[in-house]
């Protein structure tokens, strides 16, 4: 089940809201139980067998945290280190088996010429998200940031919470720990949450999907037959698709969080306005970047052990970041590509960019990001380099390649122009200037209603509605 489906919008969500809000506020435990049961059903609906994996992750991380609690758990330093290492191994084993077992077997066969059976294991949807949340909970207990939660139902609700279960953002336990037992679902927050959800839904259905359909149509053609114009158009369209898909789902999650009284941190901050790759990664998928910073980069030593060690730490973090997105070498290359750019910016390029006009830094960042997305979406190295070759070595492709690109550009002109405009903080600036005016609030709510109607029409009529988080 995904947010942009009729089942979710017109069956699941209304039923959950009705069951949740019919219970008086004072019965917090009952409302939490509705959330928990709904979240488990949400996951079970799409992954009946994988629910066992998630329940195992919940139970395991709950137990590990109890053992590690600084006040009521194990007191011996060695014992705590052993349990922390065991908890880490437990979580990595889950994600390693389901996500990377086949990838590892293939590469071992290639390196050693072996004949290991390559397992074909169905990967549970959202395994990277709920596993990383379970790990962050245990790590925060180890560090003393939060006490271990004695009630397993609270931990289960945190890890399985359906608004962010299969598409993020990655929510740290300390962010919502207090709200699990004490929160206020007031009318202002609920209406703001509904608006945020609808705007996120519109990003997904009205901007991401059309851009994705355009990119898919071009990238489905033989790589060697594409003209430079076609590949550039496809790469630009895919860049818009992944922005509005990822940020759209984050908006929907944040909005639903507000409806149920939770405050999730922002996950995107207009990343395509960045002036450097460093700035870009402070704005893109913030929850993931923060996770790797807090739980990998800093524990490795961060920038505290000299420049060579810092460079090593950056390479490790970004190799892991690439692998997090998928079990394939193109993701590793994608991660290392950004690692190199980040290292160059730390060494000298960042200072150069600061002295240059803003437009230069912006153009450099967009070019770097678009190249990165080519590696990200390509099925293999050969295809990726064929696309990049067409982008930077002018080629006409097959007969009519440029005309085909122009026809597609014209056909999708409205969505593409709107996508470019909304990737900039124009709406944010308008909101900041007119927020207190009645006419603005009326227009905003009217737009929200219109967008929901358009989204409903798109959900009913369109057959192209990809869920790109299957690999995560």
Q: Could you give the CA distance from residue 220 to residue 126 in angstroms, rounded to a whole number?
A: 26
The CA R_g of the chain, rounded to the nearest whole Å, is 23
pLDDT band at 273 (very low <50, low <70, confident <90, very high): very high
Within 13 Å, how many C-alpha atoms sit on residue 162's CB side?
Answer: 27
**Burial profile 178-213: b = 16 or more Cβ within 10 angstroms, e = fewer:** eebeebebeeebbeebbbbbbbbbbbbbbbbbbbbb
Return the pLDDT at 246.
95
448: which 2 tokens? Answer: 């929200």
pLDDT of residue 384: 94
Q: How is residue 349 annotated by DSSP?
A: I
Distance CA 472, CA 470 (A): 5
Query: Is it the case that residue 143 has pLDDT exceeding 90?
Result: no
Alpha-carbon distance 113 to 203, whole Å? 47
Q: Which of 141, 138, 122 is nearest to 52 (CA)?
A: 122
What is the four-CA torsion angle of 435, 440, 442, 444, rounded to 10 degrees? -80
pTM of the model: 0.94
Provide mean pLDDT across the span 26-44.
95
C-alpha atoms less than 13 angstroms from C-alpha of 195 in its C-beta half-sphere: 14
The whole-angstrom separation of Cα 67 and Cα 96 is 24
Structure tokens at 321: 């970041």
Task: Report, as an integer, the average pLDDT of 305-310.
Answer: 92
Question: How open is the CA angle 49-246-462, to the nearest 5 degrees?
Answer: 75
Average of pLDDT values for 137-166?
Answer: 92
If you search the block for the tokens 């009952």, which residue do you land on? 30
pLDDT at 213 over 70: yes
| Angle, helix 329-344 to helix 381-392, in steps of 10 degrees | 50
Question: What is the number of other CB atoms lying within 10 angstroms of the CB of residue 266?
Answer: 13
Q: What is the pLDDT of residues 68-88, one digit of tens each?
A: 886 666 667 778 888 889 999
Work out the end-to-end distance of the chain between its first and last CA atoms, rounded to an integer number of angstroms: 15
Give the pLDDT score at 129: 93
What is the predicted pLDDT for the residue at 116? 82
Asked whether the predicted pLDDT for residue 455 surpasses 70, the reply is: yes
pLDDT given at position 470: 73
Catalytic site positions: 325
Do the Cβ atoms of 108 and 114 come closer than 8 Å?
yes
For residue 169, whether the previous peptide bond is cis, meaning omega lies within 30 degrees of 0, is: yes
Q: Are 22 and 143 in contact (CB under 8 A)?
A: no
């Amino acid at each position: 089940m995904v947010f942009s489906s009729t089942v979710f919008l017109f069956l699941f969500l209304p039923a959950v809201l009705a069951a949740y809000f019919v219970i008086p506020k004072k019965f917090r435990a009952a409302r939490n139980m509705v959330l928990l049961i709904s979240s488990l059903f949400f996951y079970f609906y799409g992954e009946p067998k994988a629910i066992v994996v998630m329940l195992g992750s919940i139970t395991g991380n709950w137990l590990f945290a109890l053992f590690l609690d600084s006040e009521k758990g194990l007191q011996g330093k060695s014992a705590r280190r052993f349990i922390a290492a065991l908890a880490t191994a437990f979580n990595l084993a889950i994600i390693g088996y389901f996500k990377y077992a086949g990838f590892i077997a293939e590469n071992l066969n290639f390196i050693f010429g072996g004949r290991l059976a390559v397992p074909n294991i169905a990967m549970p949807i959202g395994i990277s998200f709920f596993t990383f949340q379970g790990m962050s909970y245990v790590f925060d207990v180890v560090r003393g940031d939060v006490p271990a939660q004695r009630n397993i139902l609270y931990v289960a609700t945190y890890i399985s919470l359906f608004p962010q279960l299969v598409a993020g953002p990655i929510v740290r336990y300390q962010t919502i720990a207090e709200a699990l037992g004490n929160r206020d679902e007031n009318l202002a927050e609920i209406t703001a949450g509904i608006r945020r959800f609808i705007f996120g839904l519109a990003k997904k259905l009205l901007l991401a999907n059309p851009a994705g359909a355009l990119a898919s149509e071009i990238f489905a053609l033989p790589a060697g037959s594409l003209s430079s114009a076609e590949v550039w158009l496809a790469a630009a369209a895919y860049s818009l698709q992944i922005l509005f898909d990822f940020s759209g789902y984050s908006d929907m999650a944040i909005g639903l969080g507000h409806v149920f009284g939770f405050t999730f941190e922002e996950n995107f901050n207009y990343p395509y306005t960045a002036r450097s790759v460093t700035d870009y990664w402070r704005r893109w998928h913030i929850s993931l970047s923060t996770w790797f910073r807090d739980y990998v980069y800093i524990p490795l030593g961060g920038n505290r052990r000299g420049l060579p060690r810092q460079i090593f730490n950056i390479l490790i973090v970004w190799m892991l970041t690439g692998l997090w997105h998928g079990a394939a070498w193109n993701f590793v290359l994608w991660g290392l590509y950004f690692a190199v750019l980040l290292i160059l910016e730390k060494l000298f390029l960042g200072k150069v960019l600061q002295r240059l006009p803003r437009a230069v830094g912006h153009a450099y960042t967009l070019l770097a990001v678009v190249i990165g997305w080519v590696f990200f979406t390509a099925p293999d190295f050969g295809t990726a380099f064929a696309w990049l070759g067409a982008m930077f070595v002018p080629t006409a492709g097959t007969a009519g390649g440029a005309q085909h690109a122009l026809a597609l550009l014209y056909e999708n002109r409205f969505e593409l122009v709107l996508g470019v405009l909304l990737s900039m903080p124009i709406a944010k600036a308008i909101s900041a200037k007119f927020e207190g005016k009645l006419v603005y609030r009326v227009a905003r709510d009217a737009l929200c209603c219109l967008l929901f109607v358009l989204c409903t029409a798109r959900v009913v009529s369109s057959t192209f509605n990809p869920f790109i988080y299957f690999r995560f």
